[in-house]
Amino acid sequence: MIAVSSCLAGIECRYNGSHSLVAKIEELVAQSKAVLICPELLGGFSTPRDSAEIAGGTGEDVLVGKAKVIERSGKDVTELYIKGAYKALNIVQEINAQYVVLKENSPSCGSNMIYSGEFSNTKKAGKGVTAALFKKEGIKFISEEQFLNTNLV
């Protein structure tokens, strides 16, 4: 069993109410080979919501209190991102997932790249809050791009 970011299976849970469908992932969910997780919804957000970026660092920095997740409006939503990351971790551990496929660039799920924190549409190397927690806890994860370029599952 694997876990996947819900938006990758076509669930309209992204900040703007859209999804990021990956047909191969949608098929795995339909075959009951993948469980959906959306750390942002698990943390208490609704859809749609204001876009957010990590300001002052990366997901690892958020987890140790050195950076914050800020909405475009300026609202600090760090605690909701941390709450959602831990709830996602609990699900992944409960199903004993072999690995997780996460949505790249997300402040929650970015596994290699996240937005800069300046709302300038620029990206930087780094992990989102959930990806950073998964790394800390030894959970294997990959981005949707990496998933499409592998023979996993």
Residues 43-88 pLDDT 10s: 999 999 999 999 999 999 999 999 999 999 999 999 999 999 999 9
**pLDDT, the chain, mean:** 97
C-beta of residue 71 within 8 angstroms of C-beta of residue 51: yes
Residue 54 lies in a domain: yes
The residue segments making up the domain with residue 13 are: 2-148
Give dist(CA 39, CA 121) in Å, integer: 22
CB 79 within 8 A of CB 42: no
The answer to whether residue 71 sits within a structural domain is yes
Query: Is the confidence at residue 152, as pLDDT, over 80?
Result: no
**pTM here?**
0.96
Confidence of residue 150 (pLDDT cuts 50, 70, 90): confident
Residue 153 reports pLDDT greater than 90: no
Q: Into how many domains does the chain fold? A: 1
- In angstroms, the CA 58 to CA 77 distance is 14
**CB count in 10 Å sphere of residue 33:** 13
> Which residue type, as a one-letter code, is found at position 100?
V
Task: Say what the pLDDT of residue 10 is.
Answer: 98
Residue 153 lies in a domain: no
The model's confidence at residue 22, banded by pLDDT at 50, 70 and 90, is very high
Q: Is residue 47 part of a domain?
A: yes
